[in-house]
Every structure is written in C-alpha cells, then in structure tokens.
Structure 1
Amino acid sequence: MSEATSGYAAEADRLAVQYESVTFEEVHAPVLHLLPPAGRALDIGAGTGRDAAALADRGFEVTAVEPTAELRAHGARLHAAKAITWIDDGLPDLPVLAAARERFDLVMLTAVLMHLDAGERARAMARLAAHLAPGGRLVMTLRHGPVPPGRRMFDVSGEETLALAGRHGLAGLFSATRADMFGRPGVSWTVLVLTPRA
C-alpha cells in the first residue's frame, strides 16, 4: 500500500457508511450538466463504488479503480448487482490500467489528487490525460482544510491543478468551490472539469 492511501484500510468500515450516506447526484450536482450522456467511464479512487454504481445506472460501461482492498470489498458487496469492473490499481502511475492502454469518455477523480505530492501529481496528470478519449471529461474534486489523523494530504489549489492540467494538454471547462457536505470545520472543496484540447 502506498503512502497516498494510508489510513483508509483501517477506517474502511466507517468510511463505507459515510461514502454511501450521500448520493452521486448530491456530490456532483454542480457538474452533472457537463457529464457525457453515456460511454466508457473510469472512476479512480472509487472507494465503495457509490459513483461507479450511479454511472452504471446512467448507462456507462464502468471501470472502478481502488487500491485499498477493504474498500474494494465493500464496493463489491454493496453494488454486486451493478455492471462494474473492479481493478486493484492506483495513481500516480496506474500500472495495470496503463498496460491496457484504454481511453474513457468520462474519468472521475473524487477526493484523490490531494493525496499525492507534487512529483506524483505531475505523473498522475500525464496518466489521466493519456486515458481521456478525444472530447472526454475529467471530473475532479480537491479537499482543502485539516488533514484527518493517519492520512497523507497536501494543500493543492484549483489554480495549481488547472496549470498542471494545461501542461498535459487539458483545458478547464468548469471550476468552483463548495462547502463540505458533512459540515466538517474548516473543510471545503474545489470542483474541476477538464477536457483534452482540440
């Protein structure tokens, strides 16, 4: 297990309840109008599969990447009826997925990038860009605020992330900030949507 995922295995049972207590539509309300109508979707850092399951319901062919075995197990149990392909893989390099050289119409990266240091973020952005189909959408959320005990997080701004994306051929379609859905003190979020430059 990499440093980026530290703390998640031990808290998987509690996190499964938290993640599933809100819906895909609630979490991603600001950008639902920017999602492709269907196609191939990749959910990186899929957790318990809440978003992957919702995308499957919307008609997407879904691949869910989750490096924490305990969270993958919850996802497979909670969403067993959904057509989701689960992969044990992770950023910054996604070695399993990279070997398949697949591209996706939608890539979701919810509360993931801020777990990576600057060098890892650069490698991750290159990998994300490589997996986006022409005209595809990369939907990303970044957490700001106090770091939970046992976790590894960095202060990553939306502006920095957009600049990094630009260096890898991606353009910003949407950027906004929002409050924390769980009301945690000092926690806020940046929501970004990126697409390959034409």
Structure 2
Amino acid sequence: MSASDRERWDARFADGRLAEPAPPDALVGREHLLPAAGRALDVACGRGEVAVWLAARGLAVDAVDVSPVGLAAGRARPGGEAVRWIEADLAEGLPVAGPYDVVVCQRFRDPRLYPALTAALAPGGLLVVTVLSGSGGPFRAPPGELLAAFGHLAVLHQEESGGRASLVARAAAGDHGR
C-alpha cells in the first residue's frame, strides 16, 4: 500500500464519526456461530466496530489496519482497551500468526491474503468475509471469487447481491485452515 493510500484512510477516519460496535455484515443473524471464547482476528479493522463487538463477546481480539488514525479511534472507544491494535500494511501480508478461532475480513479485498486468512484459522475456526462485488475495478470481487477461494472450508453461508459478496465458513475440526 502506498503512503497516499494510508493518508486517504487517515483522512477518512479523522472525521471523528464512530459507529456502534456491531457484528460483521455476513454474521448478522448468525451470531450463534461465534465461539464463547478464544482468539479473533479483525483484518482491516478501521475504527474497530467489529473488533470491539468481538471483544465484548469474550474473544481475545487482534485488530489490524494500516491507518494509525483509525486504530487510535478504535483504541479510544468504550471497550477498545480489550483489543490489541496493530498498525500494519496488509500489502506486506498478515503481521500476526494464528491460530484464531474467528477471522474477520470486512470490506477489504486483497486476494493475495486469502491463503493467509485460511492458514490463520484454528481447527474448527470460523472465517467471516465480506467484500464489494461486481465490475468496477480492483476493489470489487468478480462473481464466485469468495467461493472459489474458500470453498475448501465448510461453507455455512454464501451470498452475492447488492454489490456485496459475503461468506461464512468453518475450517474442519482437524484442519489448520488448509
């Protein structure tokens, strides 16, 4: 990621607006799939709405983003002290190692990270991914991309509509995300 990308995200997050902590889009209505405890990874966490939501449910959360402004906003929000905030350029790969019981990647697409997301899953771990979809540039997934990338996992939910694609899947109990 270039310095201009980091600056763009910093400027976007500097407006001070904070949404309430919330589940990742693909998990709405499927919250029962979350484990009651364990480790979670929120990739491209922004201001930490999902990270803080996961931590409030008893998970030990690592939240990664390129924007120090977004991470500072997440750290400052109520419940933010329960999250480990990590500044990293995801173009260089995941800066953490699993295993994680939950891996969330919401509204960030980099197919080069897909193998690392599954490799970070603990046996039986839950993967939750939502990306923009359709035509229109490098930030949009073509039809079927998530299923092609993660179809080797046990797919619990998959949907492509309204310009978004989402997938919820579980690694096999004896599988380390492969």
Q: TM-score range by the shorter chain?
A: 0.7 to 0.9
Gaps of 5+ in 2: none
TM-score by length of 1: 0.73
Q: Does 1:172 align with 2:173?
A: no
Q: Which amino acid aligns with 2:108?
A: V
Partner of 2:14: 13
Q: CA 1:60/1:73 → structure 2, altered by over 3 Å: closer, same or farther?
A: same
Partner of 2:167: 192
Q: Deviations over 1:40-84 (max 9, x none)?
A: 111111111111111111000111111111111111122465311
Partner of 1:154: 139
Q: Which amino acid aligns with 1:165?
A: F
**Native 8 Å contact 1:45 1:90 kept in 2:** no
Report % sequence identity. Answer: 31
**RMSD of aligned Cα (Å):** 2.8
**Native 8 Å contact 1:49 1:79 kept in 2:** no
Aligned residue runs from structure 1 range 55-70, under 5 A: 55-70=54-69
Shift of 1:175: 0.9
Q: Does 1:104 align with 2:103?
A: no
Partner of 1:38: 37
TM-score by length of 2: 0.80
Q: CA 1:132/1:190 → structure 2, altered by over 3 Å: closer, same or farther?
A: same
Q: CA 1:164/1:129 → structure 2, altered by over 3 Å: closer, same or farther?
A: same
Shift of 1:173: 1.8
CA distance in 1 between counterparts of 2:4 and 2:36 reads 32
Q: Does 1:127 align with 2:116?
A: yes
Q: Which amino acid aligns with 2:169?
A: L
Match of 1:24 among 22, 30, 51: 22
Shift of 1:90: 3.9
Instruction: Report the structure, 1 or 2, having the larger strand content.
Output: 2
Q: CA 1:82/1:141 → structure 2, altered by over 3 Å: closer, same or farther?
A: same
Instruction: Report the structure, 1 or 2, having the larger helix content.
Output: 1
CA distance in 2 between counterparts of 1:81 and 1:139 reads 21
CA distance in 1 between counterparts of 2:37 and 2:143 reads 27
